[in-house]
Chain A
């Protein structure tokens, strides 16, 4: 707004200026025209000027006023802030002052302390230096001391070792002295011994000589002694023989006696032996008997056990017998009871049968009775009706009599007489009916009597045999039917297994599009196709047979055949040429290989290559290589390769290089050729 105002002001100012500046030019001519005009103009302009100035000033005043207000505001704020700041700073200042005071105290103290410290450090350094110097001296002294100690110890050690040595040596000397003395003593002894020995030796030689002489004598004596001894032994033997013979001779009678005794003994023993065998047999028999007895005993025990069991059973049976009151004491009793019961059963069955028949008849009689009862009821009803009618009739008669008594006989109305007649008729009819009914009743009673008689007869007769036969027949028929049923069931089962079904209950369905029909359709189609082709071929054959009928086709076939033949020939020719070229190239390649490597390579069989060196000593010297499945080459054994063991080892086994091996072989062969 201010800005807009400013612009307006400037506008007015500008216009004013222009206004002021413009009239100056025409003023000059107007000056010439007259001063009054100018005066008025001047006045007016002055007034305008004043007005503008007023406006301007007013505006400026307003502006200033606003500024002043703002200033005041800002001033107020500034003052407020200042006051706040002042109060804060005053507070801070106080705190700071306190701090400062304290700080100064502290600083002073610190300074003092620092000074003290400095002094102390100075003292300390001096002391340290003194210490160090002392230390150094001490160390020097220590070192010296140590050195001396070391020397002392070494010296003492040396002394001790020397002392030890001296001691050892002294001991040795002593020992040796002792040994020497001992040895000298020994020497003396030995010499003494030697002298002794020598003497002994002389004695011994003398003795020896005497001994030899004695030995010679001795041997002779010994031979003599031996001979004598032999003789003596012979004599002794003879003596012994003689002695034994003598003793035997002396013992002979004794022996004979003994023999006799022994014979007797023998006979006795034989007898006793026989006895013994007899006894043994007896003992065996007894043992067997004993065994049998034992067995019997065991059996007896078993039997007794069984007996007890049986007795218990019997007791049980008896108990049952007592409890049932059937007086069963023995099995016969039981069987008798059973038979009785069976008979009873049969009788009951018969009774049952008769009863069933009776019941049938009873039902019949019951029906009859019912009929009779109905009849009776009818009769009763009719009797009631008759009573009623008689009463009515009596009533009527009474009325009629009263009429008769009241009226003259002439006054009998025909109507009444008619009624009476009618009533009488009715009566008559009912009476008739009654008699009829009574007749019927008696008849029915008679019938029932007859039936009752029949019933009694039937019940008395009861043809049991006939019934049994019938039952048997029925049983037979039942069995026959059962068999039939079984057979039929088997057949049914078979049919079921074969896939038969009951068309009443079951239906068979399958998918329209099933594999069988599809296969059948396909087959049909194939058959048709084949048939069509057959027909076509037949026609073709016929046409061929007729000949020339289809010349066009024939020529076409012919031309196509010619074309094919030409093509074949050209391709064969090309093949031939290619083969020739290949052969030539192969030959070239092989010769080049032979010249360059010195080996002729031949393929003997599949995957086998024979290498013949150019420098081979013999024509048949060759190496055989076989290509393995993984492409690796292996050397096969030949006569020639056997002679190359070393190279095979070195180059193939060790270095694993076939080219190196081949070149080594080549070099070897080459060197051999050139040497000779």
Chain B
């Protein structure tokens, strides 16, 4: 963390948000059972116990995405991050965890740190992650083997880097949407929501 206790710089904010994504994605993967629970280990962060994957392949993938994301957050060119859970049997999208990112582009010009303490930001992040954990109670069970993908919505003029490619939005047909809490570093505002396929049985 480069941000001091007094305020948040653009760089610090980007790091904070990227860290949040890293932990948030790990939590979702653990909570939704996309990977077996024994491949997760407990780690303490934001004054709470979180589950972090030990799967080397997954770890590598996440660090790749998160480091690229950090760059884009720093450039303020990212609009959304979406975690898509797809059923492998039917290729149907079952869940979409969407994180809308609003960048305060004025922070790019003025390097003055914003008046917001790290502690309050972390408190907000903690409540978002708590809510992610709590959503398991109402989300339908994932009964079939599933895989996840991370989509990043960026500005159109951004040059797509190597190893990345354009993708479809992977929208769920007939979905229910639930808005979750949001947090802001006063430079980046992150709104989170989850959309899931409506089950016919209800």
Contact = CB atoms under 8 A, between A and B. Distances in A.
Interface in B31-77: 58, 61, 64-65
B123 interface: no
A497 B65 contact: no
Contact of A499 (B61, B82, B164): B82
B88 A523 contact: yes
B155 A505 contact: yes
B166 A508 contact: yes
A499 B98 CA distance: 7
Given A498-B172, A498-B177, A504-B156, A513 B163 contact: yes
Contact of B152 (A496, A499, A508): A508
A510 B158 CA distance: 13
B135 interface: no
A512 B171 contact: no
Nearest to A497: B177
Contacts of A517: 149
A507 B164 contact: no
A465 interface: no
B169 A508 contact: yes
B86 A514 contact: no
B195 A498 contact: yes
B147 interface: yes
Contact of A506 (B79, B84, B98): B79
Given A498-B172, A498-B195, A509 B164 contact: yes
Contact of B86 (A494, A500, A503, A516): A516
A507 B166 contact: yes
A519 interface: yes
A509 B156 contact: no
A508 B165 CA distance: 8
Contacts of A654: none
A501 interface: yes
Given A497-B193, A499-B98, A519-B88, A514 B149 contact: yes
A672 B95 CA distance: 87
Contacts of B58: 515
B84 to A, nearest CB: 7
B151 A510 contact: yes
A511 B166 CA distance: 9
A457 interface: no
Contacts of A503: 156
A498 B93 CA distance: 12
B154 interface: yes
A666 B18 CA distance: 82
Contact of B64 (A505, A511, A516): A511
B175 A510 contact: no
A520 interface: yes
Given A506-B153, A507-B153, A515-B58, A499 B171 contact: yes
B11 interface: no
Contacts of A513: 61, 163
B179 A497 contact: yes
Contacts of A518: 147
A555 B164 CA distance: 57
Contacts of B1: none
B179 A512 contact: no
B86 A509 contact: no
A501 B153 contact: yes
B150 interface: yes
A509 B152 contact: yes
A511 B160 CA distance: 10
Interface in B159-200: 160, 163-172, 175, 177, 179, 193, 195
Contact of B165 (A497, A499, A501, A512): A512
Interface string A536-551: 0000000000000000
Contacts of B195: 497-499
A511 B158 contact: no
Given A498-B172, A515-B148, A519-B147, A510 B165 contact: yes
A519 B86 CA distance: 10
Contacts of A520: 88, 91, 147
Given A498-B172, A499-B169, A507 B163 contact: no
A593 B167 CA distance: 83
B94 to A, nearest CB: 12
A511 B179 CA distance: 26
A508 B167 contact: yes
Nearest to A496: B100
A499 B179 CA distance: 13
A519 B150 CA distance: 14
Given A506-B153, A513-B61, A515-B147, A499 B160 contact: no
A510 B149 contact: yes
Contacts of B147: 515-516, 518-520
B175 to A, nearest CB: 6
A506 B160 contact: no
Contacts of A519: 88, 145, 147
Nearest to B89: A523
Contacts of A508: 151-154, 166-169
Nearest to A505: B156
A499 B169 CA distance: 6
A515 B55 CA distance: 12
A507 B195 CA distance: 20
A343 to B, nearest CB: 49
A512 B163 contact: yes
Nearest to B175: A498
Contacts of B175: 498
A506 B155 contact: yes
A494 B164 contact: no
Contacts of B151: 508-510
A515 B153 contact: no
Interface centre among A511, A512, A518, A519 (most CB of B within 10 A): A511
A520 to B, nearest CB: 7
B170 A509 contact: no
Contacts of A494: 177
A510 B161 CA distance: 10
B89 to A, nearest CB: 8
Contacts of A515: 58, 61, 147-149
B180 to A, nearest CB: 11
Given A511-B150, A512-B164, A500 B84 contact: no
B135 to A, nearest CB: 15
A631 B157 CA distance: 77
B80 to A, nearest CB: 8
A527 to B, nearest CB: 11
A501 B148 CA distance: 20
Nearest to A517: B149
A498 B168 CA distance: 13
B88 A511 contact: no
Nearest to B174: A498
A500 B195 CA distance: 12
Contacts of B100: 496
Given A498-B171, A499-B96, A519-B147, A511 B61 contact: yes
7 contacts: A501-B169, A506-B79, A508-B153, A513-B61, A513-B163, A520-B91, A523-B88
Give the top 9 A-B pairs by smallest Cβ distance, nearest first: A519-B147, A516-B149, A497-B177, A516-B147, A510-B167, A514-B149, A499-B169, A509-B164, A510-B151
Given A497-B195, A510-B165, 12 more contacts: A499-B171, A499-B195, A501-B169, A505-B155, A506-B155, A507-B153, A509-B165, A510-B152, A514-B150, A516-B86, A516-B148, A517-B149
